[in-house]
Structures are given as C-alpha cells and as structure tokens.
Amino acid sequence: MLRRSFLALAAAAPAWEKIKTRGARVEKVFDSPGPKPNGLQATDEGLWILDQGNNHAYLVSFEDGRVLRDLHTDSGRGSGITFDGEAIWIGSTYNRKIIRSDAKTGETLAEFYTADGNRRARARMARGKALGGCAPLANDLSHRTEVVGGRASVPDGGNRPHGIGWEGRWLWCTDSNLNAFFKHDPDSGEIIQKIQLGDSDPLPHGMSIRERTMWYCDDIGIVCRLKM
C-alpha cells in the first residue's frame, strides 16, 4: 500500500484503541484445487471455492479438500461466491456482473449488472450508437438488466473488503490490505471486535463461517481456518 493511501486510511479508520483486538491461531488445512482461490462459501454439502485463475467453482470436502464438484462458470475472474440453497451466486469482477449459476452444472441461470457495470454498459451502448453501429449489452441482457445493491450499508474497518460471514447476528468482514477480520453490529454498523492475523499468516481473499469456525483462502492457493 502506498504511504499516501495508508495515511488516508488511517485518518478515516475508527478509533482502534476502542476496538477489542485479538490474534488467532491459523491452521493451513489444504491446498485449493484451482490456482487462485478468491471466494468461499461454507454449506452443509461442503466448502464452495471460486477460483479467479480458471473461473471454476469447486465444492470440496471440509476435511481434506477433496473435490466433490468441479464446475466451469461464466465468471470473469470473480471475487466472491455464495449459495442460496439451489444455485451459486458469483461476483464476476472483471465484467462487473452478479451471476447465478446452476450448482450442479455451472450453467448460467441469470446475470445482473452491478451499478458500476450498468453505467459502463450504457456508456458503451451510447458510444456504439454515436458511431452509427449497434452496441447491445453483453449476451443481449438489456431487457433484464438490474442494478444489484442493498438499501443499507455499514462502514468497513479498512479499504479492501474481501469476504463476509455471519456469526449468529454478527457480521464479520475481511480486509485484505489490513490482514484482519472485523466484527460488526449490523444494526448500528459499529465495529466491536477485530481479529488481526500475524505477518506470517496467509493473506485473506475470501471468507466464510460455519459452526464457530472461520474459513478463509489466500489467492496463492491455500485454504485456512481458525476458531471463532
């Protein structure tokens, strides 16, 4: 991180001395099946891993990382994954979409532009019309483009959030630049606890929580866990 960026972050950060901070013993559990894991979601069936290097979504065993399912997706170097009980949802980073994919086959069921992606797509369309051509939205999605976003938000503790997970009513958020996890009160947005990883611990690039265990991945190919 550049010094100027760090100073700006420090100025905007909450009063760290008021936040309860603790370390954690990180266990490196297994290697990811793909080259660059960048999103996790823990489910009853196993752990979903989204890989930014090959655009695959893997369902693996919690015990040893054995691959239970290997799906090719239409993600563009995605950075997040979740499961709704029937399908997986992917944050497709480089084309700024949210993709809903079949959890058995990987087939795309629906695509939605994020707010930024929607603006960029409309700008491309306008440029195409100005040149006398046609520039429809990718995959002809103009008839069902939606802006995805919530009505409420809470401030993060850092400047690079990269994974969220629920511990009961508490919302944990990962920050990759600070190598830390922040526990939020979702009603007030207040940060009430921080887990600070050590300098030698793998960097977090995706996180999920299940049965009092936090799982996270480093994008060099490592899946880790720590007790809550």
Task: Give the Cβ contact number of residue 191 at 10 Å.
Answer: 22
Give the pLDDT of the chain (228 residues) as one tens digit per residue.
444 444 344 444 555 567 899 999 999 999 999 999 999 999 999 999 999 999 999 999 999 999 999 999 999 999 999 999 999 999 998 989 999 999 999 999 999 998 765 555 555 434 433 333 322 223 323 223 233 344 377 777 788 888 999 999 999 999 999 999 999 998 888 999 999 999 999 999 999 999 999 999 999 999 999 998
pLDDT of residue 156: 78
* Residue 84 CB coordination number (10 Å): 9
pLDDT value of residue 115:
72
CA-CA distances (angstroms) from residue 171 to 62, 65, 71, 160, 187? 22, 26, 29, 16, 10
What pLDDT is stored for residue 131 in this prediction? 37
The structural domains of the chain, with segments of one domain joined by +, span 19-114+149-227, 115-145
**Helices and strands (DSSP H and E) totals, the chain:** 2, 17
Looking at residue 19, its pLDDT comes to 85
pLDDT at 126: 46
* 19-114+149-227 fold: Thrombin, subunit H (2.40.10)
Residue 16: predicted pLDDT: 57
What's the token pair of residue 172?
A: 């944990």
Can you say how many angstroms the Cα of residue 165 is from the centroid of all Cα atoms in its chain? 10
Query: What whole-number distance in Å separates Cα of residue 171 and Cα of residue 122?
Result: 34
- pLDDT value at residue 155: 78
User: Residue holding tokens 């823990």?
Assistant: 42
| Helical residues (DSSP H) of 56-191, grouped into ranges | 115-130
Radius of gyration of the chain (CA): 19
Of 158, 152, 150, 157, give the one whose Cα is nearest residue 177: 158
Whole-angstrom distance, CA of residue 46 vs CA of residue 68: 8
The whole-angstrom separation of Cα 137 and Cα 142 is 5
Which pLDDT score, from 0 to 100, does residue 146 have? 35
Instruction: Please state the pTM of the whole predicted model.
Output: 0.78
What integer pLDDT is reported at residue 150 of this predicted model?
41
**Which whole-number Å values give the CA distances from 207 to 52, 78, 151, 173, in the listed order?**
15, 14, 23, 8
